[in-house]
Each structure stands twice: as structure tokens, then as C-alpha cells.
Amino acid sequence: MAFFGLSKPRSLLGIDIGTSSIKVVELSREGGRFKLENYGLFELESMEESVTTVGSMTGSRPAHLSDLDIAWGIKEVLKRSKISARDAVASIPTFTTFATIITMPYLSQKDMAQSIQFEARKYVPLPLNEVVLDWSIINIAPSGNNQQPTSNVQSPTFHNQQVGSGKLGAGSSVNGPPTVEVFLVAVPKVETGRYQFIAQNSGVNLRALELENSALIRSLVGNDLSPTAIVNIGGRSTSILIVDGGFERVSHNYEVGGFEVTKSISRSLNISLKRAEELKRSFGIKDVDNNVIQQSMSSLLDMMAFETKKTMHNYEDSRNVKIGKVILVGGLANMPNFINYFSQKLGSPVIAGNPLARVITPPGLEKLHPEISASFPIAIGLAMREI
């Protein structure tokens, strides 16, 4: 995994193991910019596995995969897409981790590490010997001064089994006793061990594990420090993330995703899930008379918008700020007229996420940009990580 002295890889894999699919992206560096070398997708929702590359290929594999099957799926993606790179960063799902922001007096790095150990016991719901603990300072300010967080701190990664491997950000001279805001994350060791097992059995060199949200922020927000909401509609759930100063401030999971929307269409029209998915992608929220597709899923979409609006308003009220941008990603982002519909329900501007904005892509893939941008933002953000 990550050891001192290793040189930077020529290209890096981002591996996003989600609840409905495995997504792999290979990025390299070219003239100071990222370049998309290849990408692959392994579907877990159905009885079929599909690998999408520059040339499309398909195969079959039973669903409800074990960790060994997931490793097999990663190997198949790499083999069929002819990806030779093996250095990888993989994502840790938000629902398997514990994360919070705590405020502390500014101390030396040695004293901070000891204090974090003590403070963590107050917040982490598991014994500390059962978790991998990591932390980053995201804001240094005089007491009572609500400065913007420093933006040059690397996000937490879980590259070893040591507790308290935090990183101090570059401080600045301040008047009066400073305080720091610390982003604290704990991941059960059983989860980090599981990902190491998957990596070993898939033949990849796991350089680091990283939170999904950190990868999303890197690929979608970049250096923008303004308050931003990211809505990531996955297969099983919707993640609502508030980013301020370049760091995660609020993360809320709503247990309805694209699969529930498809099931609602299927039940309402008494058709198969496959046909419901086709109609969802074709008709979506098109403004036509008697759009029965829209009618069958509008209540679920409205609840997604309601949860997003509530999360945004709670943060705005607590911090006395205004969230000026809402970024939408996930499979539903490309559903016809959905972004306009979601924007109307929120009462705020909504844009489609574009993780390829800073990425050079091979000629001929322009038509696939919306699909890649909606479905691969986490994998792209992982592959963008500096090792």
C-alpha cells in the first residue's frame, strides 16, 4: 500500500466499489493536466456484468457478489479494457465510516496527536483499537474569527493500520489564542482489511483508501471555496454533501436512489424492471401531456429534492451563509429534463457535475461525456489523487 520512498505512478486507477456497480477509471498526467486513458464498469444490480471501455464488451456473472467475486470483477474490467496500470486508490463508502468536525485549541503536532486520541473517544462509537483513525486540520483561526478553512491540506486516507496518523495543515500567524477545526474520520479495521483483501485478490497495488466524499470534492469542486451542495444519486441511496472552503461540512444519506425510481415505474405500469429502466432513460421528466413515467416517480423525486433543500437550509441557517451552487451527479442526472425539474423543486440553480472539466479525453468520446461525468465522478476523483 502506501510506503515512504515510492515514486509517483505514471498513471493511477480510481476504483469505486459501490452498492450497485464497480467503476474503474485510469488517469495519467500530460502537460500538467489529467488524461483519461480508459474506464470500466461492472454492474452488480442484475444477473449480467457489463464492461464499458473504448470498445464495448459484455459478459455474465451472478449478482450478489462476495469479496472474491468483486476482486474477480475488477480483474475482468482491467483485462477486457486492456488497462496495464496497477497502482490504485479505492473509495470507502460513507455509510461504513464515522466522520465529524471538532473544534480544539491549536497545539503542536505532537500534542495535537495526543489530544485527538482523547477527543476521539468522545465521538467515535467504537473502541479506538477497532478503527483506523485519521484527521486533518481544515481551519486555523483566532478565537471567534470565522475564517475560511485552509485549502492546502490533504484529505484523510487510510493507508495503514496505525491510529492517529493525522496531518497538520500549513498554519498562519494569528493574533490571540488560535483554535482549529479538525476533520476526524474513523473506519472499522474490518473494512480496511476487506479492501486490502479485495486488492490483493484482484492484482492491484492499493496505494490508499479514501472517503467517497473526498473524491467527489476533488473531481467536482476543485479549488472553489464557496459553499456548494453536491447531490449524488446512486443506485440504492442519495448522498447530499455540503462543501465549504473546499472541505466536507455536512453529509446526509437519503435511502432512496435510482433503483427505487425504476421499481416505482415498474409497479405503476406493471412492466418489467428492464423495460421500466428503458422508459426512465427515454422519457424521464419530459414536458409532454400525460407523461405517465413522470407521474409514477414524481413523489420519489420530490422527496429527494425536499431532503436536499432541508439539508441546505439547515446549513445556511447554522453558518449564516448562502449555498450558491448545487451540483448533481449519478445515473438520474442524465434523465431527460431532470435537472430543470430538480432546480424548480429546490428553488436554486442546479448544474450537472463535470469531473472531466480538467481531464483530456480521447477523440470520439465527446458524446459519452455526460454519461461518464454522471456515473464516474468518484472514480475520477480517486484517480486524481496525488500519491
- 31 within 8 A of 356, measured Cβ to Cβ: no
All residue ranges of the chain with pLDDT < 70 are 1-9, 44-65, 141-177, 288-290, 387
Neighbours of 239 (CB within 10 A): 23
* Rounded Cα–Cα distance for residues 200 and 322 (Å): 45
Grid cell locating 363:
477523440
Q: What does the CA dihedral 94, 334, 368, 371 come to, rounded to 10 degrees?
A: 20
Q: DSSP string of 149-169?
A: PPS-PPPPB--SS-S---BPP
* Rounded Cα–Cα distance for residues 65 and 19 (Å): 10
Angle of CA points 382, 130, 117, to nearest 5°: 85
- 78 within 8 A of 53, measured Cβ to Cβ: no
pLDDT of residue 387: 67
Of the candidates 190, 171, 315, 192, the residue with the CA atom closest to the CA atom of residue 242 = 315
* Rounded Cα–Cα distance for residues 264 and 242 (Å): 28
Domains in the chain (CATH in brackets) are 11-86+373-383 (no CATH), 94-188 (no CATH), 221-352 (3.30.420.40)
pLDDT of residue 175: 56
* Rounded Cα–Cα distance for residues 168 and 112 (Å): 9
Of the candidates 163, 208, 207, the residue with the CA atom closest to the CA atom of residue 184 = 163
Bridge partners of 39, per DSSP, are: 25
Spatial CB neighbours of 209, under 8 Å, sequence gap ≥ 6: 89, 90, 91, 92, 157, 158, 159, 187, 192, 195
Spatial CB neighbours of 357, under 8 Å, sequence gap ≥ 6: 222
* Rounded Cα–Cα distance for residues 264 and 32 (Å): 46
- pTM for the model stands at 0.83
pLDDT of residue 13: 96
Residue 100: HSE in the Cβ half-sphere, 13 Å Cα cutoff: 13
Amino acid at 184: L
Q: What pLDDT, in 10s, does the model give residues 119-140?
A: 888 888 888 889 998 888 888 8
* Rounded Cα–Cα distance for residues 93 and 210 (Å): 9
* Rounded Cα–Cα distance for residues 106 and 86 (Å): 40
Helix ranges, 146-231 (H) = 189-202, 212-220
* Rounded Cα–Cα distance for residues 90 and 106 (Å): 32
Beta strands 238-244 and 247-254 are: antiparallel
* Rounded Cα–Cα distance for residues 378 and 330 (Å): 10
pLDDT of residue 108: 79
- 208 within 8 A of 158, measured Cβ to Cβ: yes
Taking every pair of C-alpha atoms in the chain, what is the biggest distance, in angstroms? 67
Bridge partners of 228, per DSSP, are: 243, 325
